[in-house]
Amino acid sequence: MRGSAHHLIGKKTGILMLLPSLVLIGTFLVFPAIWVLYMGMTNETLTGIRAANPQFVGLQNFVRIFKDRFFYNALKISLLFVFGSAIVGQAGLGMTLSVITYRKSKKFRSFVQAVVILAWIIPEVVVAYLWVAFLDKDFGTLNNVLHWLGFEKINWFYDYPVLSIILFNTWRGTAFSMLLFSAALETIPPSYLEAADVMNVSPWRKFKDIILPNIKSYIFTDLILITLWTFNVFSPYLLTHGGPSFKTELLPIYIYRNAFRYFKIGYGSAISAVVLGINLALALVYLRLSGRGARK
């Protein structure tokens, strides 16, 4: 793949063809990111005098963030949320499902995929409502079932708020990982596993020795994507509004609270810039790991 573009088209033509997308990326991604960084150095608010005439305050906002215990709370919950719902939940469950359906009949695989994708194609707000209806203390489906089975009703959003949003996001996002892993598994030549079948290799060793090394790069790609997405996901707000008492206040919700509930646009922008930095760092870590994981 390396260098093939140089042979196919000239450098000038290449740049020319890249130009439209570069302009779009510049306008809608790079510029806002820089703008957020700039706003983070002002004391701009949503209303009042400072909305019209924001002042440049340098790194004041950033210094404040690192003294703000709510920032550390949000960071901690976000990391827990990413680990629980993205890495363990979506990737783990997605991998399990794709391996279970791998080399099985097409009908079975299509059925499982259809069910899982259903969770993915339903609009976000509807999904949130479904989960409220499912986990509600008094009228929720789950509690009704538990009650019918003779268990105590549980106030899920109050007693297990983080677990609730982790389950919600796992359910919501597993389809992506499962589809990606299923597609990755299809790239393994069937003879690799048939050879292993004939050699009497156990299912676990087949997974560890043959499947995993052959889809490693797909796994890293998946992990980068879902980590970043989950880090920036806002929809748990629809379930818990960040509560009770900030127990589910993820970073995006924390930003939202500061920027749009407390009207502190400048401060909110500064937090956004920090989150941007965290995302960048995470992406770099994954890229480094996957680069090292690849065969020399």
Partner 1 sequence: MAWIEFDHVTKRFEEVVAVNDVSFSVEKGEFFTLLGPSGCGKSTTLRLIAGLEIPTEGRVFIAGKDVTFIPPGQRNVAMVFQNYALYPHMTVYQNIAYPLTVRKVDRKEIDQRVKYVAENLQIHSLLQRYPMEISGGQQQRVALARAIIQTPNAFLLDEPLSNLDAKLRIEARSFLKHLHMELGTTVVYVTHDQAEAMALSSRIAVMDSGNIRQIGTPKEIYDSPADTFVAGFIGNPPMNLLEVEIIGYRVKLEDQLLEVPELVEKLLKPVDGKVTMGIRPEHVKIADRGELKGTVYVVEPLGAEIIITVKLGNQFLKVLTFEEMNISPGDVIGLNLNREKILLFDERGIRIEKRAE
User: What is the contact surface with partner 1 in residues (CB under 8 A)?
Assistant: 189, 191-192, 194-195, 197-202, 205, 209-210, 213-214, 295
Please state the closest distance from residue 85 (CB atom) to partner 1, in A: 30
**CB within 8 A of 169, min separation 6: which ones?**
81, 85, 86, 89, 90, 230, 233, 235, 236
Please state the closest distance from residue 213 (CB atom) to partner 1, in A: 4
Please state the closest distance from residue 293 (CB atom) to partner 1, in A: 10
Nearer to partner 1, 10 or 203 (CB): 203
Please state the closest distance from residue 179 (CB atom) to partner 1, in A: 24
Nearer to partner 1, 46 or 201 (CB): 201
Nearer to partner 1, 1 or 198 (CB): 198
Nearer to partner 1, 218 or 229 (CB): 218
The CA-based angle 257-55-27, given to 5 degrees, is 70
Nearer to partner 1, 64 or 216 (CB): 216
Please state the closest distance from residue 190 (CB atom) to partner 1, in A: 9
